[in-house]
């Protein structure tokens, strides 16, 4: 297989995952996409046939690029917000949702949803936490990114976890629910790649979905809901997950502009039973 063909295949297979990862670290969709683009540029400068694990290689390179940005003096998250505001402001808490008129703005959605993960951690703690606790990567791989031993990375993740638990989850309950994380990742990748079959596998057969602009028009059934998701948000859009401590919440970007916030309800059978779309910008044409 020609090198360019391999790179194109890697882009299709891993781009949604890498953008989601980078966004978790940087909190800005433009910066996240630039980091992933830079990682692929570096891939093109290497002999791809000598790389055994392309996804792993791209993960390490993207993470290093994000870490460099985080450490840069130019990276500043101003106006820190109270993490308690996340529950009050984000459109997705437990099994109920706030009035559509209260849907978030671009700045609020990013800063509120990522305030805990981004503002309270050192750069190394942030990378270790995101890579291990959210993306379940081994500490040996994380060590390649931060330039420390695996044991040191374990300690970084532990400190990050403790800071987050102390600030927003006094009970010590896990911040990232494994079930929600896995379901969300599958949903993002299936939607971003336009894979109808994979999307149907993560949806409950009786899933329902609605858009806040059309609250009386509820779509039911996995096939219809999946096709609507791909029709409006597939391929062109960038979907990234944010941590709220409740049900999964996704931000949807088109041309680096926030266009929607999507709340998901996950059943005990690891399927999505409800999809609530809160539009924050012009609704895309089909």
pLDDT digits (tens, 9 = 90+) for 225-264: 999 999 888 878 888 887 655 677 888 888 888 888 888 8
Give the range of the structural domain holding residue 19, as residue numbers without chain letter.
Answer: 3-71
pTM of the model: 0.58
Q: Is the pLDDT of residue 36 over 80?
A: yes
Q: Is the pLDDT of residue 15 over 80?
A: yes
Residues 220 and 257 both lie in one domain: yes
Q: Can you give the pLDDT at residue 177?
A: 62
What is the pLDDT confidence band of residue 129, given thresholds at 50, 70 and 90?
Answer: confident
As for how many domains the chain has, the answer is: 2
Q: Is the pLDDT of residue 19 over 60?
A: yes
Residue predicted with more confidence, 124 or 221 = 221
Q: Is the pLDDT of residue 30 over 70?
A: yes
Residue 241 belongs to domain with CATH number: 3.10.450.50
Residues 104 and 35 both lie in one domain: no
Alpha-carbon distance of 55 to 52, in angstroms, equals: 9
Domain end, chosen from 12, 41, 71, is at 71
Q: Can you give the pLDDT at residue 69?
A: 82
How far does Cα 236 stand from its chain's mean position? 16
Domain end, chosen from 17, 47, 71, is at 71
- How many residues in the chain? 286
Q: Is the pLDDT of residue 189 over 60?
A: yes
> Sheet of 219-220: strands edge to edge?
219-220, 203-211, 272-279, 257-266, 249-254, 238-242
Residues 181 and 61 both lie in one domain: no
Contact 248/184 with Cβ under 8 angstroms?
yes
Give me the percent of the chain exceeding a pLDDT of 90: 18
Residue 61 belongs to domain with CATH number: 1.10.1740
What residue has token string 């609020």?
Answer: 108
pLDDT digits (tens, 9 = 90+) for 42-95: 999 888 888 888 888 999 899 888 888 877 734 444 433 333 333 333 333 333
């Amino acid at each position: 297989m020609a090198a360019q063909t391999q790179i194109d295949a890697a882009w299709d297979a891993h781009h949604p995952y890498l953008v989601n990862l980078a966004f978790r670290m940087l909190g800005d969709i433009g910066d996240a996409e630039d980091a992933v683009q830079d990682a692929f540029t570096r891939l093109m400068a290497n002999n791809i046939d000598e790389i055994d694990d392309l996804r792993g290689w791209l993960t390490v390179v993207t993470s290093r690029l994000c870490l460099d940005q985080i450490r840069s003096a130019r990276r500043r998250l101003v106006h820190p917000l109270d993490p308690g505001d996340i529950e009050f402001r984000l459109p997705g808490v437990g099994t109920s949702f706030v009035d559509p008129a209260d849907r978030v703005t671009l700045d609020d959605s990013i800063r509120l949803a990522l305030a805990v993960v981004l503002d309270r951690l050192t750069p190394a703690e942030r990378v270790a936490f995101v890579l291990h606790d959210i993306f379940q990567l081994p500490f040996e791989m994380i060590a390649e990114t931060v330039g420390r031993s695996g044991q040191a990375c374990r300690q970084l993740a532990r400190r990050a976890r403790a800071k987050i638990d102390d600030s927003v989850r006094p009970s010590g309950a896990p911040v990232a629910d494994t079930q929600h994380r896995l379901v969300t990742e599958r949903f993002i990748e299936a939607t971003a790649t336009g894979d109808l079959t994979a999307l149907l596998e993560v949806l409950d057969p009786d899933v329902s979905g609605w858009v806040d602009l059309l609250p009386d028009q509820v779509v039911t059934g996995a096939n219809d809901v999946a096709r609507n998701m791909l029709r409006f948000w597939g391929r062109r859009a960038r979907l990234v997950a944010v941590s709220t401590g409740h049900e999964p919440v996704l931000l949807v970007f088109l041309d680096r502009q926030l266009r929607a916030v999507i709340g998901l309800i996950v059943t005990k059978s690891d399927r999505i039973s409800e999809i609530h779309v809160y539009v924050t910008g012009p609704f895309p044409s089909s």
